[in-house]
Chains A and B, each alone.
Chain A
Amino acid sequence: MKIVYQNIHLANSHTLAVYEANGGYQAVLKAFELGSDEVIEEVKRSGIRGRGGAGFPAGMKWSFIPKNDPRPKYLTCNADEGEPGTCKDRDIIRYDPHRLIEGMIICGFAVGIQQAYIYIRGEFYRETERLQAAIDEAYAKGYLGDNIFGRKIRFHLAIHRGGGAYVCGEETGLIESLEGKKGQPRLKPPFPANIGLYGCPTVINNVETLASIPSIIERGGAWYGALGVPKSSGTKIFSVSGHVNRPGNYEVELGIPMKTLLEEHAGGVRGGWGNLKGVIPGGSSSPILSAEVCATITMDYDAMAKAGTMLGSGAVIVLDKSVCIVRAVARLSRFYRHESCGQCTPCREGTGWLAQIMTRMEAGHGTLEDIDLLSDICNNISGKTICALGDAAVGPVMGALRAFKEEFIYHVEHGRCMAG
């Protein structure tokens, strides 16, 4: 079942002509007919949850924007795609930018927004060019601008390129960056729905979330809600990377068994299922699952939470038995140390400490006390920071300690890796 990626196999799928030839820009017209409240209802009915990582229901988020507020409102599309392992938004932007634009127009109409931004990661240079070209096409056609689709509706859209900071993918860090400041997340509350960009009510959604909207409106929230499993409705794109035979982006219904995803869609684990060591299921910050768990788990929000990890951004990183877990975690810890904005104490000091210990451990200079220390540090960061980057940094370490503690002990005792 393909929704977001339904067109990407077509030649010139990124152009307005191909998008329209395949039914594009019809949902927005339907949205105008439905009226703004009903559009929000449809999105609520679909049950779609945010695809950026946190999984917050999109319809609910839109309905939080205060009505009858004199301030302007903003829509910001999060195209920062910074979570290691994630590359799904990129293909939407490259191959079907108009789907995103249409989704944004619908959101803008539903919430009463006249100005929207796409915050795109700086490294997406070609992607920005293509997105800009699509926006230009939409402006030329009158789909964006002061009187879109010939109606008295105003909707403007502009791209802002980020500077490559992971933390600018965090919604309030993104807002700060968009405002021209250093990308440091804000305290919440207040939430962006009330005080967001330039102090005004702001909707922030991920690219995939917004690109799902046209189909939801076109075919109805109930239709979408019936896909997938309860509380994890619809389809989700999984960026499968690592030791599989056919890494890539796969859009499947939520709730699919992980094994099916890896074996049937991604060409199977390198060297066979028996060679699987573990899977990081939802981007680098989600705790790793052992092969044993992977054999039975399904790809949906609840199952992941129950297993002590998360669906996150849908980046499935597959590790086979050649992988040294300690080394992999050390690498990720250095990433989080580098990407911490430095604002709040536990994350600033804790990520640096974790990275130093992990690096030492990897080099064979760890002690058994360090293993306890690692989990203490994780506990002292977790849930005590301004933004979720602190928790994200803790994820890989905690997950590895839970699933692969013996590898840490082996490292300490032998000064080298089990995997050779």
Chain B
Amino acid sequence: MATVIIDGKEIDVKAGTTIMEAAKLLDIYIPHFCYHPKLPIAGNCRMCLVEVEKMPKPVISCAMPVNDGMVVKTDSEMVRTARKGVMEFLLINHPLDCPVCDQGGECSLQDLAMKYGPDRSRFHDHKRHVPNYDLGPIIETEMNRCIHCTRCIRFSEDVSGVEQMGAVYRGDHMQVGPFVESRLDSELTGNLAELCPVGALNFKPFHFQARGWELKHADGICSHCSVGCHTRMDHLDGRILRVMSRSWNEGNETWLCDKGRFALDGLANERLTAPMVRASQGGELKKVSWPEALDQAAKILKSVKPEEVAGLASDAVQGGEELFAFQDLMRNVLGSGHIDHRLRQRDFSADELPLTRADLLMNTPLASLNGADAIVLVGFDPRFETPILNIRLRRATQAGARVVSVGARKLNTNLLNVTEVVVAPGGEVARLNAALQALDHDEACAEDPVAALLKGAKKPVLLLGEGANVHPEAEALRRVSVALLDKVGGIGPNWNGYNRVAARANAAAAQDLGVVPHRGAGYTRLERMGMNASQILEAAASGQVKVLFLLGVDPLDEALDRDLARRALSKARVIYLGAFYGSAAQKAEVVLAGLAPGERPMTLTNGEGRVQRSARAVNGPLEAKEDWRILRALSDRFAAPLGYNDLEALRKKMAASDHRYDLSRLGPGESAMACDHSPVTRGLPVTVSAAAESGAAMQLLMVSSFYRDDPVAARSKVMGQLARDGRLRIHPDDASGLAIVQDGLVRVLSGERKIEVRADLDRRVPHGVVIGDLGRGENATRELGDYSNGYPRVSLVALPG
């Protein structure tokens, strides 16, 4: 501990704390440009100079650690003179084009110039001119404004691990920019513009859209993946124009990924603006009044037996409110137990077991991941499933943690110390089981990369990602993962390293609030299990389910088996409640126009099981309504309507079924607890089926396309520019054997099904495997997928053209 006196105020701080941080604790603001709490110290701007008693020269407070007994003055004559000098230097070569600068009004340089800058320039010589760069769809540059603070460089090197930004030349010719002009190859580029204290790096999509001071702000929670980053939605005239990060130390710190920040333009595309009804089969959708639409929906629902109705919900765009009300309506008003949100899942065998919340979610809080010393990724591509979680893992690896990734493909990773164990598709269970056995034998253990990593680790973590969650033997894989971690003491009261990371923002809320066929809200057991997503689609296609009620979900975009989804939607009568006009609305008889994220208050439960609330920023289309109110109004047309008339009452009901949703117990500024759940179920038997035989044909692995994988992102033009989807990835060696060339057209056949797609040669694809994405559009590889056949065998024919 050290006691320091800053501006006459005394404080005890940990030894090694900098003057800047100590001052912060005292609420003393020291002006700065290059200092950033989450980046390595550079100490180059010199704005933060302070006077320290007994030191002849001013010192930089951002880098100088305090000593016991130190007396600091942050506003003495010496300090003011120093600041004025620095300010003048920063301004001489600055273009001072604030009136046309996006940063105007929110600029550190502008703000501090008001306080310390000269009102007249003494500089009459030549101003520097610096070239601009095209850095891709996210960042707009105006490098004349750069003040060389190197925040962007430090972020690129330290946080994103993509060393593309740097400084070339020296002295006042120094230029900050990419070493080689090219688009920034990172999922975190937006942070550069947010970090840049001036208007040198700006958001391209926001360029010239508004002045900072005109914007209104609403606190949001990102709904694009299960990290649940804290955002600030900046809006003007009913449109969200920009998403900024809100600082949240336990989660996103001050970062956001490019999807979370820039998918928002998708909110404005293909919107449903009013309720509609289709007069006849195959007829046109016509705008109608709300009562008419709801009457029609009720009529359809009443025309069949309760068990002939099934509901599917989106866990990406719907809030906990709608999810809760939806299952409430399905079960208690319509009397059907067929409800699910897991359209990507193949293995539902775990539904028979009373799995706990801990089994299904993360158990290591995001904030603790930095401390892990051994990391096992199972079917998980953290960088392109949960980018901000990936930053935590990267921090752990920077501190020395080692990583083994077990999966059917190689990752494009920025983690350090990674060993990739690539298995044949589906081979993960056997692989992990071998590691489990190896733990018993020293020799085998040393040779098995997973066992060797885990043995002796003090804080091991194992993370199951999308590749594990959609695995044909997902439950076996989950169990062997638990067993493995348990064996090395990784699941205990003090450290729990077992994590099942969902890809979708609100998958946890859907689990918690009973949007599954085998459990009610709050993990209550049901007398009778309903049908799961795959069964629902089968039943709809066969005519057993006659009405499909879709909440925000478009099965053609979401289901693993698109062909089945198409058959289901054309056979059953469809009621669609949601915000977007897609293939589901195209097929629906009744379309109920709901709202999108940002337009309604919503509860989002992140991967850690942390219940969070996102505020409403803007109003949706004039005639669209808050989704849960639509459900509530619909229920009025039945014998026992839903028992809540306002948001408060609904949230009380949610809280009553799961105490974690009772946020009234939180004090101001407190956030809900992460990993607030009972222990992981241990000791379940591990089963390993015979390894799939590798045949002559190639196997198709389908992965989701990170930038396009939810209804909003899928409609975003910016995401379209970032995504590299819609292609079949194949190893160049395999390709050359089949005469397939880069960008060449390939016919892909799997049984009866076939598609044509362009090829992308990629050395990361294992031999004997082709990787397609679960994309949208007509020729998506997902046309070839089905629920039972895990990794379809396909044959490829190169086509001319």
Contacts and interface: CB of A to CB of B under 8 A. Distances in A.
Interface string B225-259: 00000000000000000000000000000000000
A263 B67 CA distance: 51
Contact of A345 (B57, B90, B173): B90
A345 B172 contact: no
Contact of A385 (B46, B64, B148, B174): B46
Interface in B72-93: 81-82, 84-86, 88-90, 92-93
Nearest to A349: B89
A341 B41 CA distance: 18
A187 B44 CA distance: 9
Nearest to B150: A343
A24 to B, nearest CB: 41
Closest 4 pairs between A and B when the two form their complex, measured CB to CB: A380-B85, A342-B174, A352-B172, A349-B89
Contact of A384 (B49, B147, B170, B173): B49
Interface in B48-63: 49, 56-58, 60, 63
Contact of A346 (B42, B86, B169, B173): B86
B58 A384 contact: yes
A407 interface: no
B174 A348 contact: yes
A342 B148 contact: yes
A219 interface: no
Interface in A351-381: 351-353, 356-357, 360, 369, 373, 376, 379-381
A356 B44 CA distance: 23
B170 A340 contact: yes
Contact of B57 (A167, A340, A376, A384): A384
Contact of A340 (B41, B82, B123, B171): B171
Contacts of B49: 384
A182 B46 contact: no
A160 interface: no
A167 B171 CA distance: 11
B528 interface: no
Contacts of B64: 189
The winner among B57, B92, B172, B174 for most chain A CB atoms within 10 A is B172
B122 interface: yes
Contacts of B128: 352
Contacts of B147: 345
B45 interface: yes
The winner among A189, A343, A369 for most chain B CB atoms within 10 A is A343
Given A187-B41, A384-B58, A348 B171 contact: yes
A315 to B, nearest CB: 22
B665 interface: no
Nearest to B149: A345
Contact of B85 (A187, A337, A352, A379): A379
Given A356-B125, A360-B125, A342 B171 contact: yes
Contacts of B82: 380, 384
A380 B89 CA distance: 9
Q: Give the secondary structure class of A's interface.
A: helix
B126 A373 contact: no
Contact of B86 (A351, A352, A380): A380
B112 to A, nearest CB: 12
B172 A342 contact: yes
A287 B125 CA distance: 25
Nearest to A356: B125
Interface in B157-182: 167, 169-174
Contact of A341 (B63, B90, B93, B171): B171
Contacts of B122: 369, 373
A373 B123 CA distance: 10
Interface of A: 165, 167, 182, 187, 189, 337-346, 348-353, 356-357, 360, 369, 373, 376, 379-381, 383-386
Given A345-B148, A356-B125, A384 B46 contact: yes
Contacts of B57: 383-384
B171 A338 contact: yes
Given A353-B125, A383-B58, A386-B43, A339 B89 contact: no
A152 B64 CA distance: 42
Given A348-B89, A348-B171, A380-B81, 17 more contacts: A167-B170, A339-B170, A340-B171, A341-B171, A342-B174, A345-B86, A345-B89, A349-B172, A352-B93, A353-B89, A353-B92, A369-B122, A373-B122, A376-B85, A379-B81, A384-B58, A386-B43
Contacts of A381: 85
Nearest to B168: A182
Nearest to B86: A345
A339 B171 contact: yes
A221 to B, nearest CB: 30
Interface in B106-126: 122-123, 125-126
A384 to B, nearest CB: 6
A187 B260 CA distance: 36
A342 to B, nearest CB: 3
Interface in B352-390: none
Given A384-B46, A384-B57, A385-B46, A342 B85 contact: no
Contacts of A182: 167
A384 B122 CA distance: 20
Contacts of B174: 341-343, 348
A91 B767 CA distance: 63
A337 B44 contact: no
A167 B90 CA distance: 22
Contacts of A341: 170-171, 174
Nearest to B126: A356
A360 B148 CA distance: 26
Contacts of A187: 41-43, 60, 63
A187 B169 CA distance: 20
A176 to B, nearest CB: 13
Given A341-B170, A384-B82, A350 B44 contact: no
B284 to A, nearest CB: 65
